[in-house]
Amino acid sequence: MTFCSRGKELLRDLTRAEWLPVYDDDSLRAILSEMGEHMDEALRVNEVDIADQAFYAKFLMSCLKRNGKVLHAYHLKRLEKIRDMRWASGPVLPSHIQQSGVLSTRETDFFSRYGEILSNYCDDVDLDLTADMDPPTESLIHIHVLEDCGEVLTESGQSVDLQRG
């Protein structure tokens, strides 16, 4: 019986990859299978001929928790990269990503749904948040005021009078 080694390899491959490795369905199934074995073993701990059954049960439960955290971390890291790609590349999944098969079908769906949510929000606030992703290089900015706002206090404590035009 292995104890969490497959999960360690899965995360190691993910962190070593330049962008994202191909979705590793086989490793995920192996980890889930290992978790099932540990759960079965934990349920039968009273039948096992071991001096300290309580310690063994805690060990098996910690293996289950660790593998659960590994699966969560794997998917979270992948979804963060996919979310970042949406901000960088726009609403259409780049063709080289589509053709490479790096993403699972659920990850492709996540990209599309996240894009829809982001687009709807941008439409609701009437502002394209994905435009001009680079911060300004100058400390002073020019503001086009569409409606009179009156005096506004900036973070530095200065007041600015924002009048239309």
Among 93, 98, 85, which Cα is nearest to 130's? Answer: 85
In tens, the pLDDT along 90-145 reads 889 988 888 888 999 999 999 999 999 999 999 999 888 888 777 777 777 777 88
Question: What's the burial of 86, exposed, middle or buried (CB within 10 Å: 0-12/13-18/19+)?
Answer: buried
In tens, the pLDDT along 27-45 reads 999 999 999 998 988 888 7
Mean pLDDT of the chain: 88
> Phi, psi (5° rounding) for residue 162?
-100, 105
**Please, which pLDDT band fits residue 55 given cuts at 50, 70 and 90?**
confident
Query: 10, 28 in Cβ contact below 8 A?
Result: yes
Which residues have a Cβ under 8 Å from the Cβ of 122 and sit 6 or more positions away?
Answer: 128, 129, 130
What string of DSSP letters covers 121-132?
A: HHHHHT--TTS-
**Please, which pLDDT band fits residue 2 given cuts at 50, 70 and 90?**
low
- Would the pTM count as exceeding 0.85? no
**Please, which pLDDT band fits residue 1 given cuts at 50, 70 and 90?**
low
pLDDT given at position 155 = 78
